[in-house]
Amino acid sequence: MKLNPASLTHPTSKEEISTMYDTNAFRIFGVESNTHKKEIKSAQQASKTRAKLGAPILISDPLDFLNRIPRDERSLRDAQNCIETPRLRISERLFWFINVNQNDAEALDKLKKGQYTDAISVWSTSEELSASINLAILCHAYYLKQDINAENTKQWARIFERWAKLFKDERYWVFFEEIEQRSDFEPLATLDDFNSLKTDIWGMLVKPNVSCMKRAIATNSEDIFQRHLELIRTSNIPPRVVSEIEYDILAPLEEKLIESLDEVNRLVSENWESSCSISEKKTGIDRILESFKMSTLNK
């Protein structure tokens, strides 16, 4: 896969879909997600000091093509609270880069220099689990930025396939459990925290896609909505998660349809009980039904 972040522009619209990478707590402090507590604390303190002084916080960002991060006192405080909360810490960790060997260090160095294709080459030739994790993160973050409307459904399917292989691999979960155990945080995330994360992980992963689908509904962009829906239905996403997504998106539409039908029934009844002639009543009903038809098509 070749990435061309130079073609991406930083967002200026408030309509930009937020993702799990944009404000990731580890990204904000400029550390890898397997960084030890002591080093994270040091990075936190350095950033907080500069923020209080109004000085710029210069951090090399491996995903510089993403949304710009406002590293102010508030965002730093939110990131710190996130990292210090076990359940949030491990969920943030799953969606940021790890650095556990020489290949990871080399690839991350290339990312920070904007050499994305070279970084992919390093990880693609590695058989380490960390390489698979980092590749999944890089490709996912890139396409969330480059193709949030899912025009390249084949590439999106491959991205979800990468994640599916990781989520099904018990080594993946053991790997992050061991990172948590070595992190020296107190309290540590529990087995229940990890089990809960396993249950929620797919919903977290596709949250930006769901947000895009809801925006597509609001803007009558049926093609975008259908591409995302088909992608979610045909990928290796657990049926339970697919059903929850469909309910989340379609239930409000069904409620609106029922409300519209109730309104049509009320208008038809009022029209029929009026003192108009039969011909006028039929004309009135035709207008009501035509209005309902056009309203439904627009929705």
- Name the token pair of 188: 């540590």
Spatial separation of the C-alpha atoms in residues 122 and 262, rounded to whole Å: 61
Non-local CB neighbours of 165 within 8 Å, separated by 6+ positions: 132
Spatial separation of the C-alpha atoms in residues 199 and 91, rounded to whole Å: 12
Give the pLDDT confidence score for residue 54 in this predicted structure.
Answer: 80
Give me the tens of pLDDT residue by residue for the chain, a chain 299 residues long. Answer: 656 655 554 443 435 788 999 999 999 999 999 999 999 999 999 988 888 878 777 788 999 988 777 788 899 999 999 999 999 999 999 999 999 999 999 999 999 999 999 999 999 999 999 999 999 999 999 999 999 999 999 999 999 999 999 999 999 999 999 999 999 999 999 999 999 999 999 999 999 999 999 999 888 898 999 999 999 999 989 999 999 999 888 776 666 666 666 666 777 677 777 768 777 767 766 776 667 666 654 55
Give the pLDDT confidence score for residue 276 in this predicted structure.
Answer: 80
Give the pLDDT confidence score for residue 288 in this predicted structure.
Answer: 63
CB atoms within 10 A of CB 198: 12
Please report, for the chain, the start and end positions of each structural domain, with discontinuous segments joined by +. Answer: 5-206, 255-298
Instruction: Tell me the whole-structure pTM to 2 decimals.
Output: 0.83
Spatial separation of the C-alpha atoms in residues 252 and 257, rounded to whole Å: 9
Reading phi first (left if > 0) and then psi (alpha if -120 to 50, else beta), residue 166 is in: alpha
- Name the token pair of 73: 């006192």
Give the pLDDT confidence score for residue 188 in this predicted structure.
Answer: 97
Spatial separation of the C-alpha atoms in residues 212 and 225, rounded to whole Å: 8
Element counts in the chain: helices (H) and strands (E): 14, 0
